[in-house]
Amino acid sequence: MLATIVRSRCLRRVAVVHDQTKAALAVAAIIVAAIGGVFVSNQLQGGNEPAAAQVESAIADGAIVRDDSRILGEEGSSGVTFVEFLDFECEACGAAFPIVEDLREKYAGEVTFVIRYFPLPSHFNSSRAARAVESAARQGQLEAMYSRMYETQAEWGEAGEPKDDLFRSFAEDLGLDMDQFDADYASQEVEDRVARDVADGESLGVSGTPTFYVDGELFQPETVEDFSAVLDEALAK
């Protein structure tokens, strides 16, 4: 029998949960068939989130998808978008990775899959990983570096020490121009690029990863089947 793996959704803020606040935690169990386990999505509802009017304003301002947001693969023909705010060091994002990859294969050419960087302060190397992926994207290797981060997450996640050299070795393996990679990785421009995604996420009330949006609406799945169901519904409109 396959082992059951329980992972908590990675939260931006560390919260101490008292009896009186436990009711504010909405728990959604997502069956991760691809890895034979489960990760639990915890959404903390509380005063740290922006007001509904602020969120609506952020959505109207285009905070979910920007013109320069990174797209995995080719843009879909339907106009339907699937957006994930992610952290490459987050185990829940790692659990979601094979699900998203299956969706990309199933809906290739129809749905546009967008990633937004949302490195969490509690993850030592998450910002470094985001900068490495963005630097690779600037040389046309977004997908390769994106996949490499999740495929190797067990090697470097939660390390508590800088993994710049490891991420640089990934770039070398991909055959990138290393002078350009090094310059981009250390640049204020790339750091600001990641920070803009984080700012957009915060304006939308994103407090943890992964957080999904489908066609501009927050999507909170409870089962793996919900992913296909919401996309099928969006495509049918």
Domain-embedded: residue 21: no
Contact between residue 93 and residue 151 where contact means Cβ atoms under 8 Å apart: no
φ/ψ of 140, rounded to 5, equals 75, 20
Confidence (pLDDT) at 19 = 31
**196/71 Cα distance (integer angstroms):** 16
**230/226 Cα distance (integer angstroms):** 6
Contact between residue 86 and residue 123 where contact means Cβ atoms under 8 Å apart: no
Could you report the per-residue pLDDT of 2-31, keeping only the tens digit for each? 233 233 568 764 333 333 322 223 333 333
Confidence (pLDDT) at 10 = 82
CA neighbor of 31 nearest in space, from 80, 96, 113, 87: 96
Domain-embedded: residue 41: no
Domain-embedded: residue 97: yes
**Structure tokens that stand for 201 in this block:** 């996420």
**209/186 Cα distance (integer angstroms):** 25
Helices (H), ranges, 138-187: 142-151, 153-156, 164-173, 178-185
Contact between residue 104 and residue 74 where contact means Cβ atoms under 8 Å apart: no
Confidence (pLDDT) at 12 = 62
Print the domain residue range for 188: 49-236
Domain-embedded: residue 9: no
Domain-embedded: residue 27: no
**Structure tokens that stand for 83 in this block:** 């957006």
Confidence (pLDDT) at 130 = 98
Helix (H, G, I), strand (E, B) or coil at 87: coil
Domain-embedded: residue 169: yes
| pLDDT tens-place values along the chain, 237 residues long | 223 323 356 876 433 333 332 222 333 333 343 333 334 333 333 446 788 999 999 988 999 999 999 999 999 999 999 999 999 999 999 999 999 999 999 999 999 999 999 999 999 999 999 999 999 999 999 999 999 999 999 999 988 899 999 999 999 999 999 999 999 999 999 999 999 999 999 999 999 999 999 999 999 999 999 999 999 999 999
Confidence (pLDDT) at 186 = 98
Domain-embedded: residue 12: no
Q: What pTM did the predictor assign? A: 0.83
Domain-embedded: residue 15: no
Total count of domains within the chain: 1
Question: What CATH number does residue 55 fall under?
Answer: 3.40.30.10
Q: Evaluate the omega torsion of the peptide bond into residue 119 and state whether it is cis, within 30 degrees of 0.
A: no
